[in-house]
Amino acid sequence: EAAEQIQRPLTPHRLAMASTLTTLLLLLALSAAAVSAQRNFTIVRYLNVNTTQGPIRGAVIETSGAAENSKVHIGSFLGINFAKVPTGEFRFAHPVFTEWNFVQDALDFDRRCYQDPGTSGDYQTMSESCIAANIWTPYNGTSSNPGSYPVLVWIHGGRFETGSITDETYSGRVLTSHESIVTVSLQYRLGVLGFLRLSSTVAPGNMGLKDQALGLEFVHNNIERFGGNLQTVTLMGLDAGAASVGYHMLNDNTKTYFKRAVMLGGSPMVFWSVRNDTSLVERLHLDFAVRQLGCPLPDQGDFNATIQCLREVSPEKLVNEQLNYNRLFQGVEFPPVIDGDYIKEDPIEAFRNGRFEGMSLMIGVTNAEAAVYVERSLESQKLTQDQLADRATYERVLRDQFRYYERQPDLLSVTGQRVMYDRLTDFGNPSGPAQYKRWMDGASDRLFVSAANEFAEKMFEKNQGTSNDVYFYVFSEQDNTPNYVGASHGSDAYYFFGNPSDDAPIVKPEQTQLSDRMMDYLAKFVETGDPVPRDEEGVWAKYNSSHRFYHNFTIDLETFASKYNVPYGFRRDDCGFWDQTLNYVNTLVESVPTTTAMTPTTTPTTTSTTTPATTTATPEPSTRPPIGPVPSCNFVFNTAAAITLGVLLPTNLLTGAALGFLFFKYNKAVKGVTPV
């Protein structure tokens, strides 16, 4: 057969901007330091595989190998539709397998699940027939035995509202051709079509997570037919995908489908990944159906008319109205929920209390996770970095971006806001660029780093006494994109998938070598649970609670660290502010300002002053958090911190004294020494 040349241009999705934190998270998920590029490979011949649901036809493709100027042949199966199309009665329902008695073509795939089309407004590449899997395998049909290769399953990110497996940036082609592992990517429903929740039986929510789970079951049932080794299946995800990996760890069924986990730029403990108030979500979603779409209210708990109306609305209109609704209610409407079925309890509480099974874990963040977030936020508000030098402007920006604490829709208290302002202000150099950097670091810690640190700690504790280990990394390689400060969200995935090794433009030879090394470490972790077997801790030390080693991925070790292994964790003191200090301050009861009443007496020349009893800002007994160390961070309270908090709180002098005494006792109890 004549060879067929396939070219796929990489076109990053463009998203409309809004000023809220939750909407801007969409941009983080799509940053990935992606650049336009043409990726070329050649179809050599077709290759059929019989799955448990029916036969499919993929292709053997010729592509670049690991050795310079080498070519290899790998199997490529794109867009395998393993589930019934979720339209009609299957819209807003849990997915189900489909079967077919014809040869399903899996040669190309360009259908994304419905999502924000960006400023182009183009829905042409989207479809409700989007629940699918891509598979790349070293098996190329030259032998009757497909082999037994390590298996990596990828769940894309996008805050459960955007993303796809059609993006060449996250193609498994390079990873498979360089490392001889089977790479799988899963696509799932998003936004209103994937997470609408009306009740436990009608539009039950978490449909997108169930799509992922069905994909994992498809992999479990069929991956050996593609040359995969079931005993090595590793689940990997970025931001929302990383959170999903954690949710699957907690589910009794899906946790049996994989052995190891890799989390990039996220974890199931990020505050924005799930809503713990399911009844609130149900009310919001019903309001969306009635107010935005004109559907009828349920009749005495009967949702039949409501759901029938929603099923008749076009997917384009559903997404458009979702975007309008997000602008109105700050993007809290279509998240995963605690449904009592797939997610049985709050994942954050489950992991904090050890109600999960341990496994080997690779987890990491970039050193500037929120770089895209702060840059686009500044643009959306038509501000420059220099304008952040104005205190009022800077406080307004921070108030808008950090309005929620601890979980949406709970608002950060006025006291908490004041403490946060000072924490994120550079008093030594109050210039606009300095404040911009403080804001970026604070947003990175709040949105990503704190949760990754805490999850690594919890997994390490759970793995004690087992052969499972935790490996933490920080990706510090400067983005090639102008204006980014450090490595932005998703740029680690860009390297793990081998983009700099695949003729990507504007890369240095050292960056190509870094990408090659990262692919090698990832493949070894998938195969063995150890990214550097027999390394003897020389290159990538195991994470432990004493030293909290992390591996630094960069070509410039002199700038970021003196060696690969860096002890004592990444930004753990800073994330302590979000995890512990602000958590405590936010629960203090806001006191009424003290007033002084001037009462005249019978003597005109004298005045009697009456002062009300002193009121101190004391936490309510039911909400008072424990004064003690939080495992995820090492923030140290000292006398200066206590005095600062006391002054900042809108109370009187006794509040400062009380807080000073509390933090004095904290230091003495935890450290065993007197604060200085």
Q: Long-range CB contacts (< 8 A, 24+ apart) of 304-313?
A: 304/202, 306/198, 306/202, 307/92, 307/198, 307/202, 307/203, 310/91, 310/92, 310/196, 310/203, 311/88, 311/89, 311/91, 311/92
* Residue 120, pLDDT score: 65
* Residue 538, pLDDT score: 76
3-state secondary structure 338-404: CCCCCCCCCHHHHHHCCCCCCCEEEEEEECCCCHHHHHHHHHHCCCCHHHHHCHHHHHHHHHHHCCE
Superfamily of domain covering 38-357:
Alpha/Beta hydrolase fold, catalytic domain (3.40.50.1820)
- For residue 358, is pLDDT > 70? yes
* Residue 524, pLDDT score: 96
* Residue 476, pLDDT score: 92
Highest mean pLDDT among 120-129, 452-461, 610-619: 452-461
* Residue 636, pLDDT score: 41
Phi/psi of residue 540, nearest 5 degrees: -135, 95
If residue 416 lies in a helix (H) or strand (E), which one and from where to where? helix 414-423
**Which residues pair with residue 566 across a beta bridge?**
550
* Residue 536, pLDDT score: 66
More confident of the two residues 423 and 36: 423
How do residues 508-542 score in pLDDT, each as one tens digit?
889 999 999 999 999 999 999 999 987 666 789 99
* Residue 2, pLDDT score: 29
Q: Looking up tokens 């009300």, which residue turns up?
A: 612
CATH code that applies to domain 364-584:
3.40.50.1820
Q: What is the pTM of this model?
A: 0.83
101: pLDDT confidence band, cut at 50, 70 and 90?
A: very high
**Which residues pair with residue 197 across a beta bridge?**
204
How do residues 260-306 score in pLDDT, each as one tens digit?
999 999 999 998 889 888 999 999 999 999 999 999 999 988 999 99
Domain parsing of the chain, residue ranges? 38-357, 364-584
Cα torsion 387, 389, 391, 397: sign: positive
* Residue 657, pLDDT score: 45
**What is the residue-averaged pLDDT of the chain?**
82
Same fold, 38-357 and 364-584: yes
Range with lowest mean pLDDT among 16-25, 83-92, 200-209, 329-338: 16-25
Q: What is the mean pLDDT of residues 611-637?
A: 38
419: pLDDT confidence band, cut at 50, 70 and 90?
A: very high
